[in-house]
Amino acid sequence: MVLIWGWGNQYRKVADAGIMRCRNCRNYSTFEIRELAKNFKLYFIPVAKWGRRYYLVCNTCEAVYELENERLDQILSEISGIPDNETSLDIWNNIDILLTQMIKTNNTEDWVEKIIPKLKARGYKEDEINHVLSVFIDSLSRSNNGSMEIENNKEEKKELLASKIIYCPYCGTELPIEAEFCKNCGETI
């Protein structure tokens, strides 16, 4: 009788963790929780699993942050109310497009109140919108040196958009938001 067996490590995605700011690449990115476990297989069927560890992983730069196993249930319950990563990114991109249109037309007064109904009309739930909007506003406040005011002057708005920066996920170099390649290491952004 031939016996086929094996062992090793296996990764699996546990849950989407939403959009956060990565400490490594400094970009706002979607994160997910992944499990790494050692396993034993008999005839390609997992028989035993042990040594489970959980990680928060940035989907932009693949930075890994270990989570305490004891707190995993608490963390999973906290993220259960947020939208999945695909929905979060879709809402984020729609907010960005709508805000950019408002800036171009010099119509930024009460921009949050104007964006929410437009996003609801596109089929998003209010709690999903509010969650992503809070992270989006945080990203604006960080990129605008803590000031959330968007001035009515077109030149200042252009400066605000131009002042947004990103960081290379490979070497950490500060780059303008429209950069396609890193000026330091040459990698594609």
Summarised one tens digit per residue, pLDDT across range 119-153 is: 999 999 999 999 999 999 988 877 655 444 444 44
Arithmetic mean of pLDDT over the chain: 83
Q: How many domains does the chain have?
A: 2
pLDDT value of residue 16: 95
- End of a domain among 24, 47, 79? 79
157 pLDDT above the threshold of 60: no
Residues 100 and 36 in one domain: no
On the 0-12 / 13-18 / 19+ scale of CB atoms within 10 A, 117 is exposed
* Amino acid letter for position 16: D
The answer to whether residue 172 is domain-embedded is no
Q: Are 71 and 90 members of one domain?
A: no
Q: pTM, whole model, 2 decimals?
A: 0.68
Q: How far is CA 188 from CA 26, 31, 64, in A?
A: 16, 21, 21
Are 112 and 65 in a shared domain?
Answer: no
- Do 33 and 55 touch, CB atoms closer than 8 A? yes
Helix (H) or strand (E) holding 172: none
Contact in structure between 64 and 55 (CB atoms under 8 Å): yes
Structural domain range at position 140:
85-150
Same domain for 35 and 14 = yes
Per-residue tokens: 44: 């390609």
**Residue 143 and residue 91 share a domain:** yes
Q: Residue 180 domain-assigned? A: no
